[in-house]
Copies of this chain bind each other. A is one copy, B any other.
Amino acid sequence: MERPRHQGMAKNTYMRWRLPLVCLLWEVAMIVLFGVFVRFGPEADAHWEEEKREMNLTSDIENDFYFRYPSFQDVHVMIFVGFGFLMMFLKRYGFGAVGFNFLLAAFGIQWALLMQGWFHSFKNGKILIGVENLINADFCVGSVCIAFGAILGKTSPIQLLIMTLFQVTLFAVNEYILLNLLHVKDAGGSMTIHTFGAYFGLVVTRILYRPNLEQSKDKQGSVYHSDLFAMIGTLYLWMYWPSFNSAISEHGDAQHRAAINTYCSLAACVLTTMAFSSMLQKKGKLDMVHIQNATLAGGVAVGTSAEMMLTPYGSLIVGFICGIVSTVGYVYLTPFLESRLHIQDTCGIHNLHAMPGLIGGIVGAITAAAATEDVYGKEGFIKAFDFTGAYRTRTPSVQGGFQAAGILVSVLMALAGGTLVGAILKLPLWGDPAAENCFEDDIYWEVPEEEESDAYHMHNPDKPASP
């Protein structure tokens, strides 16, 4: 039953001292940096009563907490249950999917609070945090979860923690460039989260290319129950995506509108995914891989434009297209990327995040460029695109141009950052598994022994099938 520590390419996957060291080091650093920098923002601080008077608020209900906390919790579920369970489709990698996602996200949100805080909430030497920071930290980690999808099953937890450290850093820089320098709108993160996260992950998995990965081919599929667990992830992502895209929009109509647009886009996306899943399979049967993933592309693709006046039918059209693009991608593009470009994309993030993310950026640019005072109202127009201060003279078409530039910057940042991080992760120090041990929990996890009389009900393919 005991598997030798060194086997195949004789990789050392022993985690006993390395993993604890990295975890403790990372966490001690967080405590020190939080101690120096992080404090409660005015709406979470005990001085709120005074603040309230200064801001001329009449009721506690106007605390930002009540505008955003329900959406925050939905986003939180998407990151931890949504991504964690979606990746559980592999037959023997359930612990790794949900457990490593848990680990990297728990670290990532702390580091993101700092990185994003320095860029966006820094005041008098302190980072002042509130519920919006928590949402943004979850968003940032979302992009790491996406990249994790590409390398799922092929890396050690140490590699994931290192990738998280770097990716969160680069995410914050890219986000700063887009939101502050280019003054781009991207409330649901088509560009900053999905495009960036996906291309980052694709480059990393390209650099970590494993020529002998077919040695673990038998473990790359799903079993009946693992597909059902994955549907928990899918559905929570699908249901809560309207909260994702509206979570940090402006109070009032913008949040309301973002939720409606996303709801519409996602609904349309389900229909075209089902249609193409059946159409592209010889026997006309539906494929769980498509249902689990491509149904979500509609949420990705309105990430930039959801808070704009995309209109419900505009959202339907975007969802319609993305269900098709994403499903076609799973059928034709993923095998091509693997065989020709050596991009081994475990979860197919190219189809769920990269392409829909690009589409989302483009839809956002077009929607912004097409905006008129007539459609938005005079005040609504200025509020929607924040055409104030230095940007008061910016026109919709210029805004559209900057939006398009934002896509480009995100892709370039992802390619450069992914290359750097991929190179670091390739160093033979981090305890990644040998090719024949990929997609298998018992390298890094204590996997329960099946009981004697249950020996036939096996999960571990290494056990002999009969006594």
Contact = CB atoms under 8 A, between A and B. Distances in A.
B67 A60 contact: yes
A448 B224 contact: yes
Given A44-B257, A317-B31, A383-B49, A458 B465 contact: no
Given A224-B94, A456-B465, A271 B103 contact: yes
Interface stretch (A172-180, A287-295, A333-341, A348-356): A287-295
A206 interface: no
Interface in A77-135: 77, 80-81, 84-85, 88, 91, 94-95, 98-99, 102-103, 106-107, 109-110, 113, 129-131, 134
A453 to B, nearest CB: 4
Interface string A295-329: 10000000000000101110011001000000000
14 contacts: A16-B282, A17-B284, A34-B313, A38-B313, A48-B256, A88-B228, A95-B286, A109-B267, A110-B316, A134-B263, A157-B274, A223-B459, A453-B458, A455-B465
A256 B43 contact: yes
Given A275-B19, A275-B24, A106 B48 contact: no
Contact of A274 (B103, B383, B450): B103
A169 to B, nearest CB: 17
A417 B24 CA distance: 40
Interface in A130-146: 130-131, 134
A256 B44 contact: yes
| Prevailing SS type, chain A contact patch | helix
Interface stretch (A187-195, A234-242, A389-397, A404-412): A234-242
Contact of A266 (B43, B106, B311, B450): B106
B110 A264 contact: yes
A438 to B, nearest CB: 15
A60 B252 contact: yes
Per CB-CB distance, the 9 closest pairs between chain A and chain B, nearest first, are A16-B284, A46-B380, A48-B253, A106-B270, A60-B252, A34-B313, A23-B275, A60-B251, A20-B275
